[in-house]
């Protein structure tokens, strides 16, 4: 039952993902959550995130920000990134994952989602069959509703890790 929340992969940070390898594997589109995936919650794009999107463009990726935030927050972050975006995405709903692929001109077979939350980012991607990578949250201090979700996420991740150990 918990498997519907299990990520396809876990990475310590968005900035540690081997994007060149993903491109070699045929991935052409990457969807990103913003808060605690690319920057701390509420932060503007920083030098590291700006450099990442420039690098992804040079590799040949199409990218899209898929955020449950309101438009002013997403626009502020995207000001220096200049990529596709969808705000108020209602993750884990399926509709905007599909809409993001339309914006990028990609499909399920060559698109991946990168995010920091199981119950919105990963679950939404899994609901439509999209490959996904869970990254560890950037900030240690979060809003109370996120702290409560993280507690539940840890329960799911312990089961996930237990299952991974049994498969070896």
Report the domain count for the chain: 1
Mean pLDDT value across residues 44-57: 98
What's the whole-number mean pLDDT along residues 31-46?
Answer: 95
pLDDT-derived band of residue 156, with 50, 70 and 90 as boundaries?
A: confident
Is 149 part of any domain? Answer: yes
Whether 107 maps to a domain, the answer reads no
Residue 76 has pLDDT above 90, yes or no: yes
**CATH number of the domain that residue 82 is part of:** 3.40.50.1000
- Range(s) of the domain holding residue 27: 2-99+113-167
pLDDT at position 155: 67
Could you tell me if residue 105 is inside a domain?
no
Residue 160 lies in a domain: yes
CA distances from 115 to 11, 39, 165, 166, 167 (A): 10, 11, 23, 26, 25
pLDDT at 31 over 90: yes
What's the angle, vertex CA 167, arms to CA 161 and CA 168, rounded to 5?
100
Residue of 116, 166, 78, 56 lying closest to 158 (CA atoms): 166
Is residue 131 domain-resident? yes
Compute the mean pLDDT over every residue in the chain, rounded to the nearest whole number.
91
In a domain, 90, yes or no: yes
pLDDT (0 to 100) of residue 154: 75
pTM score of the predicted model? 0.87
The pLDDT of residue 166 is 47
């Amino acid at each position: 039952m918990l498997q519907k929340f299990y990520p396809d992969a876990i990475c310590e940070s968005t900035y540690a993902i081997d994007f060149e390898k993903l491109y070699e594997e045929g991935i052409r589109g990457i969807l990103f959550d913003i808060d605690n995936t690319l920057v701390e919650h509420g932060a503007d794009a920083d030098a590291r995130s700006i450099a990442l999107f420039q690098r992804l463009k040079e590799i040949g990726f199409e990218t899209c920000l898929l955020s449950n935030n309101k438009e002013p927050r997403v626009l502020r972050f995207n000001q220096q990134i200049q990529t596709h975006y969808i705000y108020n995405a209602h993750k884990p709903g399926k509709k905007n994952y599909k809409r993001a692929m339309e914006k990028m001109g990609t499909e399920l077979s060559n698109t991946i989602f990168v995010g920091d939350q199981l119950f919105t980012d990963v679950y939404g991607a899994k609901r439509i069959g999209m490959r996904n990578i869970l990254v560890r949250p950037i900030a240690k201090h979060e809003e109370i509703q996120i702290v409560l979700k993280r507690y539940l996420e840890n329960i799911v991740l312990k089961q996930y890790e237990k299952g991974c150990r049994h498969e070896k």
